[in-house]
Structures are given as structure tokens and as C-alpha cells.
Amino acid sequence: MKKHNFSAGPCILPQEVFEEASQGILDFQNSGLSILEISHRSEAFVSVIEEARSLALQLLGLENKGYSALFLHGGASTQFLMTAYNFLNKKAGYLNTGTWSSKAIKEAKLFGEVVEVGSSKDKNFNYIPKDYKIPSGLDYLHCTSNNTIYGTQIKDFPNIDAPLFCDMSSDIFSREMDFSKFDLIYAGAQKNMGPAGTTLVVIKNDLIKKVEREVPSMLNYKVHLEKDSMFNTPAVYAVYVSLLTLRWIKNNGGIKAMEQNNNAKADLLYKEIDRNPLFKGFAAPEDRSPMNVTFNLTDESRKEAFDELWKNAGINGLNGHRSVGGYRASMYNALRLESVEVLVSCMQKLEEQN
């Protein structure tokens, strides 16, 4: 039986994507070759990566606006270091909204001064800092749009003079936004975009002019831009499955439709958390993420009973991250409303048991 997969990432992808992705391993486009054995310099693969690059920009509304998309190696964690290696010449600002922001800050400190413009560490990152001051003279301001572990999401991004960088690993392609506010966006593929093993970077072409340091080739955005994201062998299969997922987003109404579905799922679950006396939400209500819903039992002694209920219902991946405890329901684009309905009915059954 197919599971209801609430994993935080790697995570559920559309069933159609799994099917096409499986077929491509046996025979890619009737070529008599597996997608795993074709040259990355073949016409077939070059057209895969080019379509993926342009579709990513198109879905974000950034086509013909001076941006480029790259599919790089190394996960979002490599972007923590690449952003700083390339662009932290003197001083950068970081908004600290959780584990991932903190890790980005740690890497950046190797390259220059880091100003933590705001932090929600005082309350175990259960909210998004607001009304923080942004000093002048920053090389860039870095933020994390969605905090996968804590279930918070930035709703309003600051208007600043400095370039704005954003780690969108866990909510890219999930909600409409003016993406042209950002100068650099990155996201590990393994949430809304594809499987683990490739990272999307969307970068304003002009930004490259700001690089002062001598940067090793594999960490150098300019090198990857000049080589059309093919400086070395890309993660062929991860890029291919990302393309299939991007096509699925486009064919299913684009980001606008994704956002509507995501909001419907989030409304359903947050309403139940608020209504049901056995559960309480972790994140501050105004900062709640539709992607990762973090919640706890009001009475820990019911844990065994609840765990049995959801496991028997075919739910997977609901355990919370150790930094928060309790439960985390990750509801990325490909998760269906009916999976959330199953979860909500487990929560209601627990209530009935008492």
C-alpha cells in the first residue's frame, strides 16, 4: 500500500514523476540507453538541464529579468559557504530563524564579519523576528524563508538596499511571491523540486561583479554561469527528476495552484490542532508554515496511543525533529489533501478514545 508520506525531506514527489523516473532508468526516451548511462554532454541531457533551468526561472516569474538558474552539487549546505566565499567581502547581515540559519552563519564567519540582525533563539525559534534594524554597508542580507525544523515561515521580506539572499530549500515553488526582490535564491532539491542530490541556485547575473576574492572553480558562481551549469559532470538523474517535477508543477497550474492546495491542507491541519484539546501548535500562529506543521500532544502520556493510530493509518515521517520534539507534518506540493484528512481523522480518533 502506498504510504501517506509526511517526511521533511527527502519527501514525497508526484506519483506520475516516480513512474516516468522509473521508466527512464530502463530506457530513456526510447534511446536504448538508461538515463543513468548517457553522457552529460549528449544532446539528450543538455536539453534536459536547459529545460530545467529555464522552467525554474519561468515558474518563479524571473525569465528575461537578468537572472540565471544553476543546478549545482553539494546541497543547500554548500550554499552556506559559497554565498559567503563569493560575496562576503567585509560584512554581511543574517537573520537567525533556526538551525539552518545558524549553520549558514557559522560558515559565513570564516569569510568576514557577520551581523546577526535578528534572532528568535530566545524562544527556541518558534517565531520570526520582526522590527529588526538592518545596518548600512552590508554586502548582503541572508534569510531563510521557511524553517523546516520549527515550522515557521517569513511572510514579509525586508526592503533593503543591500542584495537579499534567501535559503528557500523548504518552500520554493510553494507560494507566489515577487521573487525579483531577491538577488540570490538557493534550495536543495529534496523538498518541492526533486530528489536529494542537486541544488537550485537562482542568481541575478549582475551580482557576479561584486566578487573580490579568488574563488576555487567548483565554488565559483561565475564559473558555473559561464559553463551553463556544466562545469563538471552534473548530478544527471537528480536534475532529470527535478525537471519532471517542475513540469508537473507547470502542468498543474504553476505556483499559484500549488499555493492554493498548500493553504487548503494547512488550514485543515492547523484548524484541527487548534480545535482538538489533545494537541497544541509549536510555532507562533502568525508565523506558521504551510509546509512544515509542528505540534505537540498536550498530554505526553497519549504518545503511544497516537503513534499507533497514525502508523496503522499508513502515515510515514510524522516524528518531530529532536530540537522541537512532538510531531511535524511536512506537506509539500505533492502531498495530497486526502493524506491530511487521514492525519486529521487520526487526531480525532485519539480524542474519541478518551
Ligand X SMILES: Cc1ncc(COP(=O)(O)O)c(C=O)c1O
The interface mask with a copy of itself, positions 64-103, x = CB under 8 A, is ---------xxxxxx-xx---x-----------------x
Query: Whose CA is closest to 86, among 240, 219, 278?
Result: 219
What is the distance in angstroms between the CA of the first residue and the CA of the last residue of the chain? Answer: 29
Measured distance CA(55)–CA(294) in Å, rounded: 32
Annotation marks residue 167 as catalytic: yes
Binding to ligand X in span 221-260, by CB under 6 A: 232-233
Binding to ligand X in span 79-118, by CB under 6 A: 100
Of 191, 204, 248, 310, which one is the catalytic site residue?
Answer: 191
Which triple of cell numbers denotes residue 31? 534511446
Helix (H) or strand (E) holding 42: none
Q: What is the DSSP letter of 230?
A: -
Annotation marks residue 209 as catalytic: no
- Considering beta carbons, is residue 144 or 339 the nearer one to ligand X? 144
Q: What is the DSSP letter of 134?
A: -
9 is an interface residue for Mg ion by CB under 5 A:
no
Helix (H) or strand (E) holding 237: helix 236-251
Rounded to the nearest angstrom, the gap between the alpha carbon of residue 313 and the centroid of all alpha carbons in its chain is 27
**Number of residues in the chain:** 354
- Which position among 12, 76, 114, 269 is part of the footprint of ligand X (CB under 6 A)? 76
Q: Residue 62 binds which one of Mg ion, a copy of itself, ligand X, none, with CB within 5 to 8 A depending on kind?
A: none
Instruction: Check if the beta carbon of residue 265 is closer than 8 Å to that of residue 244.
Output: no
- Which three-class secondary structure state does DSSP give residue 192? coil
Which triple of cell numbers denotes residue 261? 492546495
- Which position among 100, 186, 237, 327 is part of the footprint of Mg ion (CB under 5 A)? 100
102 a known binding residue? no
Paired strand residues for 141:
93, 164
Helices (H), 4-98: 15-26, 43-59, 75-87
Binding to a copy of itself in span 148-207, by CB under 8 A: 188, 190, 195-198
Q: Whose CB is nearest to ligand X? A: 75
CB 132, min distance to a copy of itself, A: 26
CA distances from 87 to 90, 111, 180, 204 (A): 9, 9, 19, 13
75 is an interface residue for ligand X by CB under 6 A:
yes
Q: Residue 279 binds which one of a copy of itself, ligand X, Mg ion, none, with CB within 5 to 8 A depending on kind?
A: Mg ion
Annotation marks residue 122 as catalytic: no
Binding site for a copy of itself (CB under 8 A): 1-3, 5, 7-13, 18-19, 21-23, 25-26, 31-34, 36-40, 73-78, 80-81, 85, 103, 106-107, 110, 188, 190, 195-198, 214, 216-219, 231-238, 241, 314, 316-317
Residues within the annotated binding site?
Answer: 41, 76-77, 100, 148, 167, 190, 232-233
Any idea which residues carry the catalytic annotation?
A: 100, 167, 191
Residues within the annotated binding site for pyridoxal 5'-phosphate?
Answer: 76-77, 100, 148, 167, 190, 232-233
